[in-house]
Amino acid sequence: MLSEDSPLLDESAAALSDHDKVYRRFTPKQKRTIVLIVSWGGILPLFVSGSFVPSIPQIARELGSTGSIINLAVSLSLFSGAVSSLVWATYSGYYGRRPIYLVSAPCLSIGSLGVAMSGSVYSLMAWRVVQAVGASSGFSVGAGVIGDIYKLEERGTALGVFFGASLSGAAFAPVAGGLAAHYASWRTMQYVLFANGLAALVAVALFLPETSHPGTRGVDKVAETGRRTWVWLNPFRCLALLRAPTMAAITVVAICVLLTDFVLLIPLSYTIGARYNITNEALIGSFFIAAGVGNICGAPVSGKISDHIVVKWRKLRGGEWVPEDRLRGTLFPAFLLVPMSILLCGLTTQFIPGRLGIVLNVLCLFMNGIGVDLVLAPISAYVVDILHSRSAEAMAAHKGIRNLAVSITISPILPLINMIGVARTNALAALVAWLGAVVLWCTIAYGDKMRAWVDVGYSTIEDN
């Protein structure tokens, strides 16, 4: 799928420029191996969160707590992951991508082991933080790696493959967590995550090279002076990138879109499970497959579409590159698939009983999974495009604020459902998604003017 022979660029020059050479450092086979490894790193955060959700009722019973309290562990891990992703991304720009993976993978293993051995709610919460810190490098640093090795017109497809592979965790993690909880114990899945963290560490140590462009790391410049001391960096510095109106706008869009996913999936045991009398954790987990398969299908397709749109509009403009062109293909899913899927799911759960209700809910979950990725994957590629030299930091700032906002908003989901019902709760989430779609349209229409308001060092076609 990803090939250096792909006719995406117009390389009329007889000799490759330095800009082209930097993307030819690795062979197509090496690039596929790199994508495979970083996709594995991207899967693990979703397994950390996804495998936990179906077992919340069992954990609550075993630790003498309630579902709402244990659900706080999801919010806490999202918050911790949001903050720590800023740290990993900032240091990946200074020390490189490979060292970050070598440090974060052991954190994931240690945290998973701690969660597995937790005997109280407080212990569970603490180790979930460590676990989330270890897993949080997967998306932001992984996207930075993809930006390092693929150029502009190939990047959307490559990131689509990365997100599609990574988001397979959304399909299989809840099933694995549900099966483990029902037939063994919720702790079993945590031991599996411990082993996967160790396996990922070995894979990175043996097969992942440093992908940062030569001479661009901070440590490369310091090495010339002979100094080898540790450098303290401000991980919150990258949040300043959100001063850019387009960065702020698409982050708002991503929050609005992703919120629908969490409103559907986090309380699933207490909505679809309770409505249709499904108490088996494995069966509850199987509902996640629909959304996960939608994610897997949506991400690669959206990446290819966004690359095609970039090439098409550059030709129409006589070679001029407008970054917001990549977002044009997101309007249909943002205005229709995402909000309608969650709205219909709420109405179905509340008003349609029996097998028909279950089937319609599965279709809505699949529709939401596709819609969410058709929006989020091009947005992620757009972030890398406009701030290519700081791609990992830009992704961390974008994803960190996104996850922070979602972690705050998902805590009241269960109480809100109990108060006003699942249909009204989902309708509110659909309304939020439509507001995000309007912001997305404004960004596409006025992106050039918005970027002119605040210059945070945008990339150009020459350095992309």
The DSSP secondary structure of 225-274, one letter per residue, reads TT--------GGGGGGGGGSHHHHHHHHHHHHHHHHHHHHHTTGGGTHHH
Task: Let me know if residue 197 belongs to a domain.
Answer: yes
Outline where 354-390 has alpha helix (H): 354-386
Task: Let me know if residue 223 belongs to a domain.
Answer: no
Task: Let me know if residue 65 belongs to a domain.
Answer: yes
Query: Quick one: average pLDDT of 116-130?
Result: 91
Count of H-run helices and E-run strands, the chain? 20, 0
Q: Radius of gyration over alpha carbons of the chain, in Å? A: 22
Task: Let me know if residue 402 belongs to a domain.
Answer: yes
Q: How far apart are CA 396 and CA 404, in angstroms?
A: 11
Tell me what pLDDT residue 12 has: 46
Biggest alpha carbon–alpha carbon distance for the chain: 71
* Element holding 303 (H helix, E strand): helix 281-316
Cβ neighbours, 10 Å, residue 453: 10
Task: Let me know if residue 411 belongs to a domain.
Answer: yes
Report residue 9's pLDDT band, with 50, 70 and 90 as the boundaries: very low
- pLDDT, one tens digit per residue, over 317-327 is 888 889 999 99
Q: How far apart are CA 150 and CA 296, in angstroms?
A: 21
* 303 close to 378: Cβ distance less than 8 angstroms: yes
Specify the CATH number for the domain of residue 355: 1.20.1250.20
Give the three-class secondary structure for 92: helix
Task: Let me know if residue 8 belongs to a domain.
Answer: no
Tell me what pLDDT residue 165 has: 73
Q: Which residues contact 289 (CB under 8 A, 6 or more apart)?
A: 171, 172, 174, 175
Angle at 249 between CA 245 and CA 253, to 5 degrees: 170
Task: Let me know if residue 22 belongs to a domain.
Answer: no
Report residue 61's pLDDT band, with 50, 70 and 90 as the boundaries: confident
Host domain of residue 31: 27-215+235-463
- Greater confidence (343 vs 459) lies with 343
Closest CA to 177 of 45, 56, 41, 43: 56
Task: Let me know if residue 186 belongs to a domain.
Answer: yes
How many structural domains does the chain have? 1
pLDDT of 212 over the 60 cut: yes
Tell me what pLDDT residue 390 has: 83
